[in-house]
Amino acid sequence: MTAFLLRRLIQAAAVVLVMSLLVFLGVFAVGDPIEILISPEADQFERERAVKALGLDLPLWQQYLVFLGNALRGDLGRSFVFNEPALKLILERMPATLELAIGATVAALIIGLPLGLYAGLKPNSPVSKGIMATSILGFSLPTFWVGLMLIMVFAVQLGWLPSTGRGETVTILGMRWSFLTSDGIAHLIMPALNLALFKISLVIRLTRAGVRETMLMDYVKFARAKGLSPARVTFVHVFKNILIPVVTVVGLEFGGTIAFSVVTESVFAWPGMGKLIIDSINVLDRPVMVAYLMMIVLLFITINLVVDITYSLLDPRVRLEGKQ
């Protein structure tokens, strides 16, 4: 187990290193940051001083080492636009994104589980067929367009919900949260539902497949033969067992949800990390771009690592794979 863990950690570190090189080269390839940083009126002397101060006169590999060294100390540069450390900007906006992603996950479970359960228990009823057809639509609909349509119907036409922003927030542990105020919740509903759209379809399909499989199991037949009420069989014997795979997949999808919140945040002007990166790309605020990309790479590698380790704990075959 230790050897497996060590190998995976080294692999993860190697991936981080490769990604940092790619991000660095990508930024370098875009062009000369000096053009953006100093005013056009600056004379030759000022220009050279700025180049030296930023270390841009060093050879490329030395610049990379400096970048890497700074990154290890948590310094990913200062934003050109906000003139604040890029990492701080991102961490400030992280709670908003997390709140949105968690809201979307909860919404997907609350909506998807009952619908999937119904479709699995009564596979031939017209309602179930309707649910399944809608879930296909959930996979095909472009998320950003659905977001626009939600705004149009519920904010513009009906006026029930606010269209953009986060609303009133409460500060807990130095972070601002929306879900504790009624105004904040009103702002959260539409973005969370929009981000949940794809996941709702996923949960419906997983739950339905799980229910149909579990209903044929011997222990379910036995529970029915014992004379237990259908409700008890459904909720205690079937539901509990399908919950494990569904929750696992939804958990695995969490990283993807955070990535995809880029789109939802842009539609609903939700002030999270995703909105920040899109705005930064549009004004070429490179330090923020680099910091965001490195954060996301780290996040994904951590998620993948945790998944791998969990799987190896649960399934010895994974652990032994490399030993042949």
Partner 1 sequence: MSSTTATRVPAAPRVETPFQRFVSEFAASRIALLGLILFLAIVAIAVLAPWIAPQNPYDLAQLDIMDGRMEPGTVGGAGFTYWLGTDDQGRDMLSGIMYGLRISLIVGAGSAIIACLVGASLGMLAAYAGGRTDSLIMRLVDLQLSFPAILAALMILAFLGKGILNVVFALVIVEWAYYARTVRGSALVERRREYIEAAQCLALPTRRIIFRHLLPNCLPPLIVVGTMQVARAIALEATLSFLGLGVPITEPSLGLLISNGYEYMLSGKYWISFYPGIALLVTIVSINLVGDQLRDVLNPRLKR
For partner 1, the binding residues (CB under 8 A) are 15, 23, 26-27, 29-30, 136-137, 139-145, 148-149, 151-152, 155-157, 163, 255-256, 259-260, 262-263, 266-267, 277-278, 281-282, 289, 293, 296, 300, 304
Spacing of C-alpha 17 from chain mean position: 22
Distance of closest approach, residue 304 Cβ to partner 1, in angstroms: 5
Distance of closest approach, residue 74 Cβ to partner 1, in angstroms: 21
Distance of closest approach, residue 204 Cβ to partner 1, in angstroms: 17
The b-or-e profile of 267-296 (16+ CB within 10 A means b, else e) is: bbebbbbbbbbeebeeeebbbbbbbbbbbb
| Of 63 and 304, CB closest to partner 1 | 304
| Of 121 and 155, CB closest to partner 1 | 155
Distance of closest approach, residue 142 Cβ to partner 1, in angstroms: 5
| Of 115 and 273, CB closest to partner 1 | 273
| Of 23 and 190, CB closest to partner 1 | 23
Element (H, E) at 175: strand 175-177
Instruction: Decide: helix, strand or coil at residue 226.
Output: coil
d(CA 82, CA 203): 40
| Of 209 and 215, CB closest to partner 1 | 209
Report the candidate in 58, 97, 269 with the shortest Cα–Cα distance to residue 177: 97
Let me know if 10 is exposed, middle or buried by CB neighbors in 10 A (0-12, 13-18, 19+).
exposed
| Of 156 and 231, CB closest to partner 1 | 156
Distance of closest approach, residue 9 Cβ to partner 1, in angstroms: 16
Distance of closest approach, residue 291 Cβ to partner 1, in angstroms: 12
80, two tokens:
């050109």
Report the candidate in 135, 152, 102, 107 with the shortest Cα–Cα distance to residue 268: 152
